[in-house]
Amino acid sequence: MQRYIGFDVGGTHIKYGVIDEDGEELTNEEYDTPEDAQTFKEKWREAVAACQKEHDIAAIGISFPGHINPHTGHAAKAGALDYLDDENLLEMFGELTELPLVVENDANCAALGEMWRGAGQRYDNLVCITLGTGIGGGIIVDRELYRGSHFHAGEFGVMPVGNNGECMHEIASAKGLMKLCRQALALPAEEMPHGKEIFERMESDVHLREAVNDWGNFLARGVYSVISMFDPQVVLIGGGVSEQEKLYPLLNRHLEKFEMWEALQVPIHPCELGNQAGRLGAVWLAQRKAAPWGK
């Protein structure tokens, strides 16, 4: 059975593991994201060597933040890893290993991972929306990743959804939720309750309930727009806030107010794989590159 290394590169941590061709993760490790390019390369090469010492590796898949051309490897922006802005990632990683490899945007990888082994397994067409500090997403059409002409497809965070044209990044993300709730509670950032507590406390705090309701309305506008554009079979929501059960009734209440919702509506479910999704999606792509005639 073929084995692969899946990397999920984040601004704080880099998670990686050996994954077999069925998507079973055999090992799972992580290390802090380095603060400069040279250390990044050294730590990455050490991780690959450690995996190869224990396993026969066929290829490597890398989930990476930012705007990436997966064909050329050029990263116009590398997310929080700004020291890798404008870097050719395929060339850089290619100098560190002789193994075949792929590099793809992290939100796209998360969508592929959910399609392969998560909440999207039963669907051919799906949209994945990730709610974090900002908002990202991935679009799957006929079980293929849709990247767009300039590899920007799925950048849902730039959609204007606010009453004054504010974008989703600003007011519909998890960060946007915390900002609205902080204003409602008149608390400094360090005294703010965590997400789960916010959803619990809103039942008894009218100001907090209004803030969460406003946020849900902004998010629903974005979700509705995405559904009307792509007509998926399902929308999957990722990120920590997606685990809150009260999110989905809140979304539905707002979506039902839109004129065409009855005709357009599709199921909205939480993602299932958490931070494992990016690694799995990257490996799914690596399999296809290493053996494009395979499954």
pLDDT the model gives residue 191: 74
What is the rounded distance in angstroms from the CA atom of residue 128 to the CA atom of residue 118?
11
Residue 202: name the closest of 164, 169, 249, 237 by CA. 249
End-to-end, the C-alpha distance of the chain in Å comes to: 13
Is the separation of the CB atoms in 90 and 117 below 8 Å? no
In one letter, which amino acid is 126? L
Contact 242, 271 (CB under 8 A): yes
Query: What is the reported pLDDT for 294?
Result: 42
C-alpha distances out from residue 236 to 122, 136, 172, 176, Å: 12, 12, 16, 19
What is the pLDDT at residue 292? Answer: 53
Q: Which residues of 85-108 are buried (b: 16+ CB within 10 A; e: fewer)?
A: eebebbebbeebbebbbbbbbbbb
Dist. CA 252–CA 244, nearest whole Å: 14
Q: How many CB atoms lie within 10 A of CB 36?
A: 11
pTM to 2 decimal places: 0.91
Answer yes or no: are the C-beta atoms of 83 and 95 closer than 8 Å: no
Cβ burial of 256 (10 Å; 0-12, 13-18, 19+) is exposed
DSSP secondary structure code for residue 158 in this structure: G
Predicted pLDDT of residue 223: 98
Residue 295: predicted pLDDT: 42
The pLDDT score that the predictor gives to residue 133 is: 85
Q: What is the pLDDT of residue 201?
A: 84
Tokens of 112: 């592929």
Q: What is residue 216's three-state secondary structure?
A: helix
Element (H, E) at 61: strand 57-64
Contact (CB, 8 A) for 111 and 126: yes
Q: What is the pLDDT along the chain (295 residues), one digit of tens a residue?
A: 899 999 999 989 999 999 999 999 999 999 999 999 999 999 999 999 999 999 999 999 999 998 899 899 999 989 889 999 999 999 999 999 999 999 999 999 999 999 999 999 999 999 999 998 889 999 999 999 999 998 999 999 999 999 999 999 999 999 999 999 988 888 777 777 777 788 888 888 888 899 999 999 999 999 999 999 999 999 999 988 898 999 999 999 999 999 999 999 999 999 999 889 999 999 999 998 877 544 4
The CA distance from 273 to 19, in Å, is: 14
Total number of residues shown for the chain: 295
> Beta strand 29-32 with 13-20: parallel, antiparallel or unpaired?
antiparallel
Domains of the chain with bracketed CATH: 3-111+275-290 (3.30.420.40), 122-272 (3.30.420.40)
